[in-house]
Amino acid sequence: MLLLLKTFLIISVFGISTFIGYALANKFSTRVNEIKDFILALEIFETKIKYTYDSLSTSFLYIADNLKTKAYRIFYITAEEIKDDKNSSAGEIFKRVVDEEKIFLNLSGEDIEIVKGLGIALGQTDIEGQIKNIRLVKSSLERQLDTAVEEKSKNYKLYRNMGVLSGLIIIIILL
C-alpha cells in the first residue's frame, strides 16, 4: 500500500512538472501566433478601409471571424461596444478593450502598447491617415514578430525540457 502511494506521488509530481514546463514553453509559441493574427487583422483592416466603405464595427466583426487565436476577442468586443457606446470614440473603446483583454493574451507589454497604437487614429482621421497608422502599427508588430520567433527558438525547448528535468530531479530527491 505504501509502495503504491509512493509510486502514485512520484508519477503525479513528474506529470505536474512536465505539464508546467510544456505550458510555459507553449506561451512562446502562442505569442508568435497571436502577433501573426494581429498582423493579419491589420492587413484585412487596411483592405477593408481601402476598398469597402463598411462601418468600423462591421469591419471589426469581419476581422474577428477571420482570426484563429484569442486576439479575435479584441475586435469582436470592440465592434460590439462601438455599436452600443455612442459617447466614446472608437479609438478610446479599442484601447480600453485591449487593456481589458490583455490578460487573455500571451503578448508582452511592448506588444500590447503597439496594438493600442492602432486606436490613436481609429475613426479620427481620413482614410489615408488611418492607412498610415495601420502600416506603422503593422511594421512595429513585424519587428516584434521577429523578436518573438527568436525567443521561441531559444526558450521553447529549454522550458519544455526544464519541466521534465525538474520532475526527474524531484523524483530522485523523493527516492
- pLDDT confidence of 39, banded at 50, 70, 90? very high
With a CB cutoff of 8 Å and minimum separation 6, the contacts of 153 are none
* Reported pTM: 0.83
Greatest mean pLDDT among 55-59, 67-71, 144-148, 167-171: 144-148
Domain total of the chain:
1
What percent of the chain clears pLDDT 90, i.e. is strictly above it?
19
pLDDT at position 34, please?
Answer: 92
**Residue 127, burial from CB neighbour count under 10 angstroms (0-12, 13-18, 19+):** exposed
CA geometry: angle 119, 120, 126, nearest 5 deg:
100
pLDDT at 139: 92
Domain that includes residue 37, residue range = 2-174
Average pLDDT over residues 92-107: 89
Share of the chain above pLDDT 70, in %: 99
> For residue 14, what are the CA distances in angstroms to 11, 25, 97, 170, 171?
5, 17, 39, 8, 7
Predicted confidence (pLDDT) per residue in 136-170, tens digit: 989 999 999 999 999 888 888 888 888 888 888 88
Residue 166 class from Cβ within 10 Å (0-12 exposed, 13-18 middle, 19+ buried)? middle
User: What's the average model confidence in pLDDT over 78-88?
Assistant: 82
Q: What is the mean pLDDT of the chain?
A: 86
Q: What is the pLDDT confidence band of residue 68, given thresholds at 50, 70 and 90? A: confident
133 close to 120: Cβ distance less than 8 angstroms? yes
CA dist 117 and 75 (Å) reads 14
Q: What is the mean pLDDT of residues 50-69?
A: 86
